[in-house]
Structure 1
Amino acid sequence: MSVIEFSPEQQAAILSLARKGVCEAVEHGSVALPDINQFADFLRTSRACFVTLDSQGELRGCIGSLQATRPLAHDLLHNACGAALHDYRFPPLKTDEPIQVAVSILSPLVEMRFETEKDLLKQLVRDRDGVLLQAGRNRATFLPVVWEGLPVPELFLRALKRKAGLSPDYWSDQVKVWRYQSEYFSEEGEKPACE
């Protein structure tokens, strides 16, 4: 389940801008951040987002921001470039590679309070909560859409710990967790990164 904040027209504009950022990054190796005043109000508001690229049904790149530090338009372009060229898990995207662009717009982070891992697991809300976990310098997040592949809270948290470079059984009183929600939407089908 996703928060609904943006109209279908706004979602289309967001996806179009993210797609433009991907293509510009692939063709030029970077993305220019245009004057923010040329964008509609909803794109000028400071927001955090993730841009996700899928190719042939598999993840092909995902880069994002957890906290709002710049206008949404600039965050979209920056993260689209990162997903296309700088996700360490994948080689840089090629212009003719088929991709589907998806965007998640995040709500502010809210720190969770819990006594034990069991207490934390009881508080997690499947299909709603995005989760940021930190233990010392180890840190990772899963967007709410990840619940689709990991619908059991215990498995979700174990996989998140692995992503953070921790043992799936790791627990400490020093573990900190924040939750957030997101509005997620994607293009219909795949098309080449640049057409």
Structure 2
Amino acid sequence: MSLTETSQNRLLALARQSIAHGLQTGRPLPVDLDAYPAELREIRATFVTLESRGQLRGCIGMLEAVRPLAEDVAENAFAAAFRDRRFPPLAAGELADLDLHISVLSPAVALTFLSEADLIAQLRPGIDGIILQEGARRGTFLPSVWEDLPNPTEFLQHLKQKAGLPAAYWSDKIQAYRYTTEMFG
């Protein structure tokens, strides 16, 4: 599903408004879904990424679609600004310099593989977002991470570390899922 440019711009504006609302109230912007077209009311999963002067400033999202697209963007924009544990909460003076990017995720599809090498061979650099899971440990990289980690082996090693596993770790219990994104902003 590809969003219209108008819908993309509306979501970017909504994300910024939710952050501004959060600075004033400490809560995400409430979304009146009746004010949005049908494509922005569909149940979809998103990530909102914040950058300041080219550096990551926050990134929060959902891997499963559980709420309407417009609401998911408002909630994730607020969370990226104020709840990403890697960063202090956003200060009012930072909002003007903030670049916002929204990734709308496709449903994740389980990958079938016989070994780590088999999984690596199935990865599509620049296309795939990957969820890696073993038991309660789980991590994901959006497709945009391929820009920094273009080598599939290194991509997987870093993703294992993000999931709380050693880079060289492998087990037959590891599960992997693939998704794609429509990214804009």
TM-score, structure 1 length as denominator?
Answer: 0.91
* C-alpha contact (below 8 Å) 1:17/1:76 kept by paired residues: yes
Q: What letter corresponds to residue 121 of structure 1 in structure 2? A: I
* C-alpha contact (below 8 Å) 2:17/2:29 kept by paired residues: no
Name the residue aligned to 1:61.
Answer: 58
Please give the alpha-carbon distance, in whole angstroms, between the structure 2 residues aligned to 1:172 and 1:16: 43
Structural RMSD (CA): 1.0
Please give the alpha-carbon distance, in whole angstroms, between the structure 1 residues aligned to 2:182 and 2:158: 22
Please give the alpha-carbon distance, in whole angstroms, between the structure 2 residues aligned to 1:10 and 1:150: 30
Residue 16 of structure 2, aligned match among 16, 19, 23: 19
Name the residue aligned to 2:83.
Answer: 86
Question: Are 1:154 and 2:153 an aligned pair?
Answer: yes
Q: What letter corresponds to residue 20 of structure 2 in structure 1? A: C
Q: What letter corresponds to residue 27 of structure 1 in structure 2? A: Q
* C-alpha contact (below 8 Å) 1:141/1:160 kept by paired residues: yes
Shift of residue 151, structure 1, vs aligned partner: 0.4
Runs of 4+, deviation exceeding 3 Å: none
Unaligned residue ranges in structure 1 (runs of 5+):
187-195
Question: Are 1:47 and 2:44 an aligned pair?
Answer: yes
TM-score, structure 2 length as denominator?
Answer: 0.96
* C-alpha contact (below 8 Å) 2:113/2:119 kept by paired residues: yes
- Give the count of matched residue pairs: 183
Q: Percent identity?
A: 46
Higher share in helix: 2
Deviations 1:43-62 (A, max 9, x none): 11110000000011110000
Name the residue aligned to 1:130.
Answer: 129
Question: Are 1:185 and 2:184 an aligned pair?
Answer: yes
Please give the alpha-carbon distance, in whole angstroms, between the structure 1 residues aligned to 2:128 and 2:146: 9
Higher relative contact order (CA closer than 8 Å, sequence separation 6+) = 1
Deviations 1:97-118 (A, max 9, x none): 1210100000001010001000
Name the residue aligned to 1:167.
Answer: 166
